[in-house]
Amino acid sequence: MPSLGQVNDYDIRLIRIFQTVVECGGFTAAETTLGISRSAISQHMNDLEGRLGFSLCQRGRGGFSLTEEGKEIYQAGLTLLTALETFKSDVNALHQTIKGELNIGITDNLVTLPAMHVTNALAELSAPKHEVTLHIHMEPSDAVIRGVMDGHLHVGVVPAVNLPTSLDTQHLYDEPSYLYCAVGHPLFDRAGDQLTLEALARHPAISPRYPLPVEARQAHDALSLRASASDREGAAFLILTGRFIGFLPEHVAAQWVAAGKMRALDSTRQHYRIPFALISRRDRRPNRVVEAFLQFIDTP
C-alpha cells in the first residue's frame, strides 16, 4: 500500500477540488463552481486517488457517493484547509494589510433590506488596500448555523431564533413582516376594516418551514394553513398565484406592492418583526479577517 509522503501545493489543490466536488454533490455540479470541465475534474480526482492509494468516490449512472475512505479524507481535508487558513491569518497579523478569506453564510432575501450593515462591512473589507477574497453562501438558516459551528463558515446572518449558546451573536436589525395577498385573490379589493381575523381565516394561507419567533408563529397559527414554503421566496411564489395569503418581509414584498400586484392585509394588526443576528463561534481562533469584518459591521 503506497504512503502519501510529503504533501505539496498540488496535493492541497487536489484536496480543495475534492472538497468542492463533495459539497456540490458531484462532478457535473462542481463544474461551474470550479470553472473547469467535468473531464478535468475527473482527471484531478484520479490524480488524488493515485496519490492516496484508494478510491474516494463512486461516480456513474448510480450517482455520486463517497466511499468510507472518501468520507475520512473529506474530514481530514477540512482540518488541513482550516489549519492553512489559521496559518495565513497568523501571518496576516504581522501586516497592516488584511489578507485572507471570509466565508459568510446568509439566509435568503436579505439584500433588499434598507439596513445595509452587511453590505457596508463587506465594502470596507474589500477595499483596494486589503487583499480579501469574499465567499458568500446563500443557505437556509439551519445550514448557516451548522456551517459556523463546524468552522466551514466564519460568520453567518440568520434569524435570532433558538440559536445555540456556543455562538456569539450580534443583533443587526429587526425585519418587519406583513400579511399579503396578490391580484386575483378575493381579498385584494376589500377594504381594510372588513378584514377581520375570521374573514382572513376563511382563505388558504402559507405555513413557513423556517425558524420564526413565538409572535410570528402565533400569527400564522391563527390562519388556515393549506400550503408551506421553505423560504420567503417560496412564499412569494405562492402569494403571487392569487390563491393564498401569507406573510412576507416588507422589503421583499415592496417591488410587487409598488407595481400594484400585491397588497398588505389589515397591516395594523397582521404584522410581526423578526430579529436578525450576526453569528460566529465563541471559541473561534484569532482571525484578522473575521475580526476586521466584525469591527466594520459594528461601525455606524
Q: Please, which residues have CB within 8 angstroms of residue 190's CB and are 6 or more apart in sequence?
A: none
pLDDT reading at 4 higher than 70: no
Identical fold between 9-87 and 98-170+276-297: no
Domain ranges of the chain: 9-87, 98-170+276-297, 174-275
User: Could you tell me the pLDDT band of residue 148, with boundaries at 50, 70 and 90?
Assistant: very high
pLDDT at 57: 87
* Of 77 and 182, the one with more pLDDT: 182
SS3 content of the chain, % helix, strand, coil (to 5): 40, 25, 35
pLDDT at 9: 85
User: Could you tell me the pLDDT band of residue 5, with boundaries at 50, 70 and 90?
Assistant: low
Determine the topology of domain 9-87 in CATH.
Answer: Arc Repressor Mutant, subunit A (1.10.10)
At position 177, the amino acid (one-letter code) is S
User: Could you tell me the pLDDT band of residue 95, with boundaries at 50, 70 and 90?
Assistant: low
What does pTM read for this prediction?
0.68
User: Could you tell me the pLDDT band of residue 94, with boundaries at 50, 70 and 90?
Assistant: low
- Mean pLDDT, residues 29-37 taken together: 88
Q: How far apart are CA 21 and CA 283, in angstroms?
A: 29
CATH superfamily entry for domain 98-170+276-297? Periplasmic binding protein-like II (3.40.190.10)
Q: How far apart are CA 106 and CA 112, in angstroms?
A: 13
pLDDT at 273: 95
Do the Cβ atoms of 115 and 172 come closer than 8 Å? yes
- Mean pLDDT, residues 207-219 taken together: 93
pLDDT at 118: 93
Per-residue pLDDT tens over the stretch 172-184 = 999 999 999 999 9
At position 126, the amino acid (one-letter code) is S
pLDDT reading at 150 higher than 90: yes
- The overall average pLDDT reported for the chain is 89
pLDDT reading at 194 higher than 70: no
Return the minimum-mean-pLDDT range out of 22-31, 224-233, 262-271. 22-31
User: Could you tell me the pLDDT band of residue 210, with boundaries at 50, 70 and 90?
Assistant: confident
pLDDT at 294: 93
Cα-Cα end-to-end distance for the chain: 59
- At 215 the three-state DSSP class reads helix
Do the Cβ atoms of 248 and 239 come closer than 8 Å? yes
* Of 122 and 112, the one with more pLDDT: 122
Domain 174-275 -> CATH class: alpha beta
User: Could you tell me the pLDDT band of residue 3, with boundaries at 50, 70 and 90?
Assistant: low
- Mean pLDDT, residues 133-138 taken together: 94
